[in-house]
Homo-oligomer: A and B are copies of this chain.
Amino acid sequence: MTSDQPTPTLQDVATAAGVSTATVSRCLNFPDQVTKRTRAKVMQAVNALSYSPNFGARAMASRRTNTIGAIIPTMENAVFARGLQAFQDELHSYGFTMLVASTSYRADIEEEQIRALVGRGADALLLIGHERSPNTYRFLETQNVPTLITWAFDTSLTRPSIGFDNRKAMRDMALKVIELGHRNLAFISARTTLNDRAKARQSGIEDAMAISELRASDLHMVETVYGIEQGATAFEQVMKAASQTTAVFCGNDVLAVGALRRAREMGVRVPEDVSVIGFDDIELAEVAYPALTTVHVPHREMGWRAGKALAELVTNGTPIEAIELDANPVFRGTLAPAKG
């Protein structure tokens, strides 16, 4: 290309390849999300025109707002707080500002907030979990807003995520619990509709039961809303409906702390009579008495890696690399061998 030729634009590539600019951008940022055939067409045009995606990213920089949005299900109980703080710190080192919205675990509110953040010019979005309406994903693609999923990792899905495998993490914990002789298991879960993390945690317990030749259908399930009071109420329901229960898994630490409190009020000794297991390892877990056995979620590492990935993508056009982090059991005071 001689120097008097204009620098090729994203539109030039799109025209040459016979696709939309959104498709070119997706092809460069999320190659897994386009068909092999489209990718070949686009890459041929990119090469023929000597289009530099890095230069393209710089050229688009003038439209950048240096704002990255994060949409989380709740601000209460600090479930997502430590991860977000690390996300923000990392983004800040790249000169980005993080804006957060919270959905109260409602899909309609999440969709409004995605539109609000995109409307306000967010350069990229961080979302929790994979499960949302095709409409929402279509909107994100049309708007060409890079999106990273976190708090989940599922190799069966092509959308990039930096997170952990909720199902495997809960399965590993459940195997340890069953090893300690527990046979009558209960699970106090968040509502599993539109919450793929909650569903995966349930599947994890069921996997462990199947491996251990217990009937997965014997798992006593109670669905509720995340909250200390809700955990307390659900624990009482479990002990009334299934009094032989010796181990109560909880969908998160907040529910588990509620369960602990109600156990104390009911005169049920933890862990002598019943073991209680949380999920998340937020600060509540260590403050609880007895301190909670729980699944440690790598909040900070997940947060900074997600921040780095989005900042590098927006700044330099570096494609996001999916990363699976470990979430491992942490044994503290609320788990003991099954009675008798």
Write the residues of chain A forming the contact surface with B, with a CB cutoff of 8 angstroms: 65-67, 69, 74-78, 80-82, 84-85, 88-89, 92, 97-102, 104, 109, 112-113, 116-117, 119-121, 228, 257, 261, 283-284, 286-289
A75/B77 in contact, CB under 8 A: no
A81/B85 in contact, CB under 8 A: no
Chain B residue, CB-CB nearest to A229: B283
Given A228-B287, A287-B288, verify A85-B65 contact (CB < 8 Å): no
Return chain B residues, CB-CB under 8 Å to A66: 116
Instruction: For the complex formed, measure the closest distance between the CB of A330 and the CB atoms of chain B, giving whole angstroms.
Output: 16
B88/A102 in contact, CB under 8 A: yes
Which one of A88, A117, A121, A261 has the highest number of Cβ atoms from chain B below 10 Å of its Cβ? A88
Question: A65-B116, A67-B116, A89-B104 known; 17 other A-B pairs, CB under 8 Å?
Answer: A65-B119, A65-B120, A66-B116, A76-B78, A76-B85, A77-B283, A78-B81, A81-B81, A84-B102, A85-B104, A99-B99, A99-B116, A120-B120, A257-B287, A261-B286, A261-B287, A289-B289
A75/B84 in contact, CB under 8 A: yes
A97/B113 in contact, CB under 8 A: yes
A100/B97 in contact, CB under 8 A: no
Instruction: For the complex formed, measure the closest distance between the CB of A88 and the CB atoms of chain B, giving whole angstroms.
Output: 7
In the assembly, what is the distance between CA of A289 and CA of B287, in Å? 8
Return chain B residues, CB-CB under 8 Å to A112: 97
B74/A85 in contact, CB under 8 A: yes
Nearest 10 Cβ contacts at the A-B interface: A289-B289, A120-B120, A97-B116, A78-B78, A75-B81, A100-B100, A99-B99, A76-B81, A257-B287, A75-B84
Instruction: For the complex formed, measure the closest distance between the CB of A151 and the CB atoms of chain B, giving whole angstroms.
Output: 15
Chain B residue, CB-CB nearest to A95: B112
